[in-house]
Amino acid sequence: MNSASEKVVLSFGAHPDDAEFMCAGTLALLHQKGWRIHIATMTPGDCGTVEYSREEISRIRKTEATKSASMLDGSYHCLECDDAFIMYDRPTLLKAIELVRRVKPTVVFTLSPADYMVDHETAGRLAQTACFCCGVVNIETAGGEPFEPVPHLYYMDPVEGKDNFGAVIKASAIVDITSTMETKEKMLCCHESQRNWLLKHHGMDDYVISMKGLAEKRGREINCAYAEGFRQHLGHAYPQDNILKEELGDLVYILS
Average pLDDT across the chain, whole number: 94
pLDDT digits (tens, 9 = 90+) for 94-146: 999 999 999 999 999 999 999 999 999 999 999 999 999 999 999 999 999 99
Average pLDDT (12-28) is 97
Q: How many structural domains are present in the chain?
A: 1
pTM for the full model? 0.95
Q: Which amino acid type is present at position 155?
A: Y
DSSP per residue over 1-67, as a string? --SGGG-EEEEEESSTTHHHHHTHHHHHHHHHTT-EEEEEESS--TTS-SSS-HHHHHHHHHHHHHH
The overall longest dimension of the chain from CA atoms, in Å, is 53
Residue 219: is its pLDDT beyond 70?
Answer: yes
Name residue 81's amino acid.
Answer: C
pLDDT tens-digit readout, 21-42:
999 999 999 999 999 999 999 9
Q: List, for residues 228-254, the tens digit of each pLDDT value.
A: 999 999 999 999 999 999 999 999 999
Is the per-residue pLDDT at 10 higher than 60?
yes
For position 17, which CATH number holds?
Answer: 3.40.50.10320
The band of 202, judged by pLDDT with boundaries at 50, 70 and 90, is low
Residue range(s) defining the domain that contains residue 248: 4-254
Q: What is the mean pLDDT of residues 163-175?
A: 96
Q: How far apart are CA 214 and CA 162, in angstroms?
A: 10
Looking at residue 3, its pLDDT comes to 39
Q: What is the pLDDT of residue 4?
A: 41
**Buried (b) or exposed (e) across 169-178, using 16+ Cβ within 10 A?**
bebbbbbbbe
The pLDDT confidence band at residue 2, using thresholds 50, 70 and 90, is very low
* Size of the chain in residues: 256
1 pLDDT tier (thresholds 50, 70, 90): very low
Cis peptide bond prior to 44, omega within 30° of 0 = no
Burial of 73 (0-12, 13-18, 19+ CB in 10 A): exposed
